[in-house]
Amino acid sequence: MLKFISKYWGYQLVGWGLFCIANIFFATTFEKFDSIFQKALLLYLVIGLLISHLMRYVIRDLKVLTWQVQKQIVGFLIITFCFALTASITESLLQKYFHLLRIVPGEKEIDVSRLIFSNFLTFFIFFFMWNSIYYIYHYVEKSRRQQMDTLKLESLVKELELKTIKSHINPHFIFNALNSIRALVDENPVRARTAITELSNILRSSMQAEKMETVPLHRELDIVKDYLALEQMRFEERLQVEMDIDEDTLDQPIPPMMLQTLVENAIKHGISKKVGGGTIVIISDFVDDRHELIVRNSGQLVAPGADSSGFGIKSTQDRLNILYQDKASFDIHNMNDDTVESRITMPFLPQGHSFGQVYKFNN
């Protein structure tokens, strides 16, 4: 039965019920719990309940809660005054009509004006309390809804940002891969067909990765290996690849296509610009309870951090910020005169936990 009662009516019944209990307690204490008191209390409860309910309709119809704060305060005071006066006049007339008044010793009849004023003060106090509780409740509810809407909006914006970044990454990667295949078509058709097979594997993996915020490192490495195999057909002996992967890190989650983007960036801006080619080293390891992913390539940045404005580097920074906020870092710099290092540091994920769980724990 209770589930069919709205919050508003639940609060109304509890509030006026507590008022009734308090009055009965004091009347019993001072030995005034007679038939006159009982009828007067019932009349007061009916008037208070009906008038306060009518007051709620006026507040909602006038949309007082949408006014500026100063106007809301003035509006609530005016509404409280008007309804307290209406309730006091109604209460006083009905009390006199039904003979529910106690004549003070020394007086022959009831002073109606004084009675109305006395009832007005009582109703004003209770309606002021009622309006204050009503206002505070809706203010808290409004703030809570705004906070929830803000969180939903932030979540939606992050999701859209991630999708936008991914939509740029995949075409960027595809165009480079197609250029590699085009270079092989006339020179070596057999290698070209092999390259197409490699590309189909990469595209299949990347399409599946589109649906996820993170993927296990071993899946990302499969894409990288296919990509490097494709590039080695183009560069031949000019491209050397070394991998130093801690097997314990293979199940660690990383943003999809992130490692591939760094490798692609290393080939585009490092290996391809050197006549003799160079080496790409991929390292994955745990350092101080954090997962480090490193890509080193032959080459040189024009200046430290000079390449940070490129899309590949910027997308890496943006995705880490969106997914991990300040719990992950990315850095690209010259290690020496002929080696560039890109280093990603991410939170360590315990075995059997999801990325979302670790993110909540760290928060």
Cα–Cα–Cα angle for 347, 353, 357, nearest 5°? 70
Residue 174 tokens, joined: 């595809």
Residue 68 tokens, joined: 């500026």
Residues spanned by CATH 3.30.565.10 within the chain? Answer: 186-362
In the beta sheet, which residues pair with residue 254? 215
| Torsion of the alpha carbons at 101, 103, 108 and 109, rounded to the nearest 10 | -20
| Per-position pLDDT tens, the chain of length 363 | 445 568 888 889 898 989 899 989 988 888 788 888 888 889 999 999 999 999 999 999 998 988 888 899 899 999 999 999 999 999 998 988 887 876 655 555 667 788 899 899 999 999 999 999 999 988 888 888 888 877 776 665 666 555 555 554 556 557 766 777 787 787 778 877 878 887 887 777 666 655 667 889 998 898 899 889 878 877 888 999 999 999 999 999 988 878 988 998 898 888 988 888 899 999 999 998 899 999 999 998 865 444 444 556 777 777 787 778 778 999 999 998 899 999 999 988 765 444 444 433 343
Tell me the pLDDT tens digit for each residue of 112-168: 788 899 899 999 999 999 999 999 988 888 888 888 877 776 665 666 555 555 554
Tell me the pLDDT tens digit for each residue of 193-223: 878 887 887 777 666 655 667 889 998 898 8
- What are the strands, taking DSSP E only, across 246-305? 253-254, 278-287, 290-298
The DSSP 8-state label assigned to residue 104 in this structure reads: P
| pTM across the whole model | 0.51
| Torsion of the alpha carbons at 341, 347, 351 and 356, rounded to the nearest 10 | -130
Cα–Cα–Cα angle for 37, 40, 43, nearest 5°? 150
For the domain made up of 186-362, the CATH class stated in words is alpha beta
From CA 287, how far away is CA 266, in angstroms rounded?
Answer: 23
Cβ pair 93, 47 in contact under 8 A: no
User: Mapping DSSP to helix (H, G, I), strand (E, B) and coil, where does residue 138 land?
Assistant: helix
Cβ pair 217, 250 in contact under 8 A: yes
From CA 51, how far away is CA 264, in angstroms rounded?
Answer: 73
Residue 53 tokens, joined: 């309910």
